[in-house]
């Protein structure tokens, strides 16, 4: 029976992979509508033939890896359950210690290690393709170091979450999910607060922007938008990637405006200012607060559904999995599997909200800078640096894109006719 269900799961995964491969490589239409050919939206106007070819190849590979990654994670959780591996990990942890926190730490270490080993080939393939297409500039030792940092950071944060979660399960048999939901919001805000000063510096060096003249221009924009920013930070990303990025991170006194050094090297001041105005648009329109509110609602529904599904699955399959109750820590893969499936299922909605907010930030940026040419050049340069598709397939857009497509963003810039002085 176990072997049969295992083979079915693996066959289903490979069948899904074949379907997505055929869709992405043969069926999906990524061409530009005829009405936009020859315009600034058309990639042939700002990419050469080789860049066009590489963009299509890399985007297809990257999109395929994206769609294969979540089901691969689900397959891992299912296999450790059906083969009784999770139960074995709990047994080993129980033999080492009866103290629940230490028992949890030992169990989670074995599960995290198994997950790391199982998913490592997938991560390595992604890294190799990124290097092959010159998106990543990171040497293997540096990449491996980041992977190990990821492992321990994830392990530390997961240990806290799992310890609290299963303590709540033992204390509140039926309403543990509600208690977990109440605690999840302050925990998420706390993580947002420490991210810029504790976690991010583990991966990269952050320092004040070296170009003080550009920093003055950025802070002038921030002052105009009533954003309490005193410094702009630069991060050394050129040793890892050729991609471009900038962002605002953190909350409260730990908020930071951050620019990748690749962005500073490859974009002119006007383009950088447009990007900064975009990030400021998120602050002005209070997108972080809407995000917290949305997370609060979705996590409430998600944890409730997870509790119901966990009880049903463990009651039905627990004997086969050697998991007696959801309060057993060996049920953790059931929890993680359920959460992962729910996150994937709801991603079209969360991505739609994100795309709307990003479009609003784009609108704010063009209204603030009044520099249409710089805005168009920025998106064209972002496309070139990331080898992105201007018009990605529909399924890729709804499941993967938290930003509008480049076709939508450049088109909006070209169609913008506002004049801030006239409006005033």
Positions marked catalytic: 279
d(CA 287, CA 295): 12
Closest CA to 23 of 56, 64, 55, 57: 64
DSSP letter for 84, please: T
Total count of residues recorded for the chain: 424
**Beta 246-249 vs 256-260: how paired, if at all?**
antiparallel
H or E element that contains 208: strand 206-208
- What are the CA-CA distances from residue 47 to residues 6, 55, 190, 354 (Å)? 46, 9, 43, 27
Closest CA to 257 of 231, 236, 223: 231
CB-based burial label for 60 (10 Å; 0-12, 13-18, 19+)? buried
How far does Cα 17 stand from its chain's mean position? Answer: 21
Q: Read off the tokens for 223.
A: 């002052």
């Amino acid at each position: 029976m176990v072997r049969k269900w295992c083979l079915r799961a693996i066959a289903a995964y490979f069948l899904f992979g074949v379907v997505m491969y055929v869709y992405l490589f043969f069926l999906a239409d990524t061409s530009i509508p005829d009405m936009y050919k020859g315009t600034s939206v058309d990639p042939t106007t700002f990419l050469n033939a080789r860049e066009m070819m590489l963009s299509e190849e890399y985007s297809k590979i990257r999109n395929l890896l994206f769609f294969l990654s979540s089901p691969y994670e689900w397959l891992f959780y299912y296999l450790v359950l059906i083969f009784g591996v999770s139960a074995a990990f709990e047994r080993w942890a129980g033999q080492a210690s009866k103290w629940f926190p230490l028992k949890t730490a030992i169990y989670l270490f074995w599960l995290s290690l198994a997950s790391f080993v199982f998913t490592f080939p997938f991560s390595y393939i992604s890294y190799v393709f990124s290097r092959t297409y010159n998106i990543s500039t990171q040497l293997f030792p540096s990449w491996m170091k980041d992977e190990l940092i990821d492992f321990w950071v994830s392990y530390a944060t997961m240990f806290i979450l799992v310890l609290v979660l299963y303590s709540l399960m033992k204390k509140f048999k039926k309403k543990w999910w509600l208690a977990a939901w109440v605690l999840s919001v302050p925990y998420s805000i706390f993580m947002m607060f420490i991210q810029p000063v504790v976690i991010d510096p583990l991966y990269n060096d952050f320092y004040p922007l070296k170009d003080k003249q550009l920093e003055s221009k950025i802070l002038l924009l921030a002052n105009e938008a009533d954003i309490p920013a005193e410094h702009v930070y630069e991060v050394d990303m050129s040793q890892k990637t050729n991609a471009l990025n900038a962002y605002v991170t953190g909350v409260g006194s730990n908020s930071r405006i951050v620019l990748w050094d690749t962005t500073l090297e490859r974009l002119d001041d006007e383009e950088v200012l447009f990007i900064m105005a975009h990030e400021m648009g998120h602050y002005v329109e209070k997108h972080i607060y809407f995000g917290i509110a949305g997370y609060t609602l979705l996590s409430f529904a998600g944890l409730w559904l997870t509790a119901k599904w966990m009880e049903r699955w463990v009651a039905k399959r627990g004997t086969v999995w050697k998991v007696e109750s959801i309060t057993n820590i060996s049920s953790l893969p059931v929890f993680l599997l359920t959460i992962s499936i729910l996150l994937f299922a709801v991603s079209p909605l969360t991505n739609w909200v994100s795309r709307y907010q990003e479009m609003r930030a784009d609108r704010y940026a063009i209204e603030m800078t009044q520099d249409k040419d710089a805005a168009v050049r920025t998106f064209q340069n972002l496309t070139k640096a990331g080898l992105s598709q201007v018009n990605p397939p529909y399924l890729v857009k709804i499941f993967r894109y938290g930003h509008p497509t480049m076709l939508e963003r450049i088109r909006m810039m070209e169609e913008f006719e506002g004049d801030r002085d006239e409006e005033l």
